[in-house]
Structure 1
């Protein structure tokens, strides 16, 4: 059964339900968020109100404009701190807004006037001055009451006896007993009855504490997600921009590949075919007068035809090699290693039977071939390590193909417009991947191609494609020798 036809493959992963014990394990972190909330929201309210309203009052003097902008930046700082506290408390991370449009320079004028026309800054200001203050005040009071009643009730038997009993003191036990059993004549010592009742009340408050802290934290998180997070339209705009950039990079990479193919055909097989045509024409002219010369020309023409055929085969391997189509990426990489003029140590952490989409396999093969060729031509290396593995990104549950080429050469490789590595970078951008480079002067060099698997792996669920991915050398791949 194909993955698309498997109903279990298309079903989203089921998150385990939170148990009472798991709720209690999160209580310390949730209390660590809730208890300091009051001083934080008071500091935010006083700071933002002072700076903002002072700026509004002085806006006619122009200096007030700078104070208003300063208040917006301060509100952004308080909002970022709130997102950090929520994440530390165990809530899912909230994607912050993109404060500056991509690709636009941060000029002084944009730094000063940009927040005034950015709705996110005003939402952050409203959150810090009004919404979060009242929400934080209520949640702090509720948390303090629940904790004080709970802890004080279960420990009343230990400290209640030291509280002086006055004439105006009301025994809660007597009130409850008279309300439940009017006219009762219970012969229970007042302190014992009060201790029992306080213990029951405290236990109830403590038993419900995990649910209370979780609900309060969810309220803070929901408010922050609405007011401090990126808007859904921004995510769509970012996706469209990334897709446009990827499409442009793919078109540019394909154009460079076609130009290179045209150049290779012109400099190789085409010149040999011209030479072959000239040899055959010369042989035709000497056919009746000089048979020995004709025999020599025909032998040369046969050699030219053989070399032309070999060059055409090499060019076809650079496009879609048959071994890649027939046996997959692992076999294709093994054939590249076998043909390399520099010894290659293979580290294939892939199933030999793994088949990816033809687009990913073809581009991964092309990138590996280009990197091995670059090492042979420029690196002056004596050994190469070719490492390939699949990596799972837990944050978004995506899968990436990591392809590393490491050599012990002279290093100093850089990205230069119009040259090989920049062309590979553009090709990977077309796949929404990235090319990482570590090549200090003197070596060694480690170049990693990271390609997101936008298609479905055999027997696995489809994976999403994040915008970026960490590009540091994995811990399982040691430095090049």
Structure 2
């Protein structure tokens, strides 16, 4: 069986050297040289709209102009984040603009930017911070680039420029000040050599300057234009609440299904068994032959009720799961399947699965094997369980069930796979279904977990 490995972490960044700085120079130069024009355009447009709206705030149109300035500032701030990403900087997580309560009326949506701190930070960035910083970075970019290029190429084009009236030579002034006893040299030749040295120094430091200026813009953008940590925590709480709700719904559906199965199956057989025993008791003395026949029927009823209870008990975690762990419980589950199951255990010896994860994994595997045996028309099933450590994304438990049936399985509402999907999502995991018509069917459930040893520390 082929398995799918999902890479959740990027490769560790390699150590960057001086050559890699030069490789990034074209993109960083493009970013820096366009910074001031974009900042000035944004300053002119946003200041015009915002302060016009502020002057007309007494009437309704002023409010709409101020709101428009907020959205324009948001657009220029987003453009800055996109440009930084294009310049090779790591992506900055953007704020979540669409709020859950943003669709609760027209005026609430209009006044939303006034109470959202991100809009004010974007406005401050466009009106004050970015214009000032961009002037500094743009000036340094132009000056450093011009000095480097002029220095290393000046000896080519400067001979064509008349300098008869020139009275000050920088190389002579430096020699007279620091080396007064040095032999005199031709001032024109000395000036050319000095300019080349200066140009080489500026050229060698050019990628360092570009990287520093780009990092300055990146730091400012992360502080003013990026999402806040509190928003990430808020979103995490919302996801946990949704996951808990999905888990409760899945468990409630499982309990209702179990109650219905017990009512329709073993309970009816036990009621009939009770009635048969009462009849046997009445006929035992007067009609022993008929009572003997009823005893055989009662025995059949008891056996069938016991078989149904055993089948239903597969929905409960067996004692073997608590005593010997998930691998042994799944191996026993595979052995009891009416369809031959090949079990493959790839659990790490130090997996240390929490009890809740083991219990849910057992339920998921039992449901998948039952579906494959009842609905897939399969003659062979393969069950595979594995654990993996993805590093930054934590530990994951993988369950794969493959059958050679007729395929066509999908998590449609009201079907077993839909309930499984809710259960897996309740565990903050994901389920993958690959079941083309004609088979085979491959279903994978992937559940994150925290090892017991790690959670206890």
Note if 1:204 corresponds to 2:201.
yes
Note if 1:308 corresponds to 2:281.
no
Corresponding residue number in structure 2 for 1:160: 158
CA deviation after TM superposition for structure 1 residue 104, in Å = 5.4
Note if 1:260 corresponds to 2:281.
no
Note if 1:239 corresponds to 2:240.
no
- Asked if 1 retains the 8 angstrom alpha-carbon contact of 2:171 and 2:194, the reply is yes
Corresponding residue number in structure 1 for 2:109: 111
Corresponding residue number in structure 2 for 1:424: 420
Q: 1:89 to 1:338 in 2, by over 3 A?
A: farther
Note if 1:131 corresponds to 2:129.
yes
Q: 1:445 to 1:227 in 2, by over 3 A?
A: farther
Note if 1:192 corresponds to 2:153.
no
Secondary structure of the structure 1 residue equivalent to 2:290: helix
Q: How many residue pairs align between the two structures?
A: 441
Corresponding residue number in structure 2 for 1:453: 448
Secondary structure of the structure 1 residue equivalent to 2:314: helix
CA deviation after TM superposition for structure 1 residue 71, in Å = 1.2
The 1-side partners of 2:452 and 2:90 are apart by 28
Partner deviation per Cα, 1:341-378 (whole Å, 9 max, x = no partner): 6x9999x7955868543433432443354456557767
The 2-side partners of 1:103 and 1:386 are apart by 45
CA deviation after TM superposition for structure 1 residue 437, in Å = 6.9
Corresponding residue number in structure 2 for 1:46: 44
- Asked if 1 retains the 8 angstrom alpha-carbon contact of 2:102 and 2:108, the reply is no
Partner deviation per Cα, 1:257-288 (whole Å, 9 max, x = no partner): 22222222222222222233333333333333
For structure 1, the 5+ residue unaligned runs are: 1-12, 463-481
Q: 1:67 to 1:312 in 2, by over 3 A?
A: same
The 2-side partners of 1:349 and 1:26 are apart by 48
The 2-side partners of 1:111 and 1:145 are apart by 46
Corresponding residue number in structure 2 for 1:297: 294
Partner deviation per Cα, 1:423-463 (whole Å, 9 max, x = no partner): 334323321234567899x89898966644231399xx89x
Q: 1:15 to 1:160 in 2, by over 3 A?
A: same
What is the TM-score normalised by the length of structure 2? 0.80
The 1-side partners of 2:347 and 2:263 are apart by 39
What is the 5 A alignment of 1:348-363? Answer: 350-351=346-347, 355=351, 356-363=353-360
- Asked if 1 retains the 8 angstrom alpha-carbon contact of 2:334 and 2:342, the reply is no
- Asked if 1 retains the 8 angstrom alpha-carbon contact of 2:364 and 2:420, the reply is yes
The 2-side partners of 1:321 and 1:103 are apart by 46
The 1-side partners of 2:100 and 2:444 are apart by 24
Secondary structure of the structure 2 residue equivalent to 1:453: strand
Note if 1:214 corresponds to 2:211.
yes
The 2-side partners of 1:280 and 1:69 are apart by 82
The 2-side partners of 1:450 and 1:137 are apart by 54
For structure 2, the 5+ residue unaligned runs are: 1-10
- Give me the CA root mean square deviation: 3.9
Partner deviation per Cα, 1:328-349 (whole Å, 9 max, x = no partner): 35983895598376x9999x79
The 1-side partners of 2:385 and 2:377 are apart by 23
Secondary structure of the structure 2 residue equivalent to 1:319: coil
What is the TM-score normalised by the length of structure 1? 0.76
Corresponding residue number in structure 1 for 2:280: 283
The 2-side partners of 1:245 and 1:120 are apart by 26
Partner deviation per Cα, 1:22-54 (whole Å, 9 max, x = no partner): 434433333232222122212211221222222
The 2-side partners of 1:322 and 1:163 are apart by 96
The 2-side partners of 1:76 and 1:333 are apart by 57
